Amino acid sequence: MMQLFYASTSAYVRKVMVCAQVLGLADAIAWLDSAAHPVERDERIAAFNPLAKVPALRTHHGLCLYDSRVICEYLNTLSQGALFPATGDARWQSLTRQSLGDGLIDAALLAL
Please give the domain boundaries of the chain with CATH numbers for all domains: 2-83 (3.40.30.10)
Read off the pLDDT of residues 28-54 as tens digits, 9 standing for 90 and up. Answer: 999 998 876 666 777 778 787 888 889
Q: Give me the residues of the chain with pLDDT under 70, please.
A: 36-39
DSSP state of 5: E
SS3 14: helix
Supply the pLDDT for residue 44.
79
CA-based R_g, the chain, Å: 14
Strand 29-33 to strand 2-6: parallel, antiparallel, or no bridges (unpaired)?
Answer: parallel
pLDDT score of 68: 95
Half-sphere exposure of 46 (CA within 13 A, CB side): 7
What is the per-residue pLDDT for 43?
78
pLDDT at 99: 94
| 45 contacts: CB under 8 Å, gap ≥ 6 | 5, 34, 36, 52, 53, 54, 56
The reported pLDDT for the residue numbered 94 is: 92
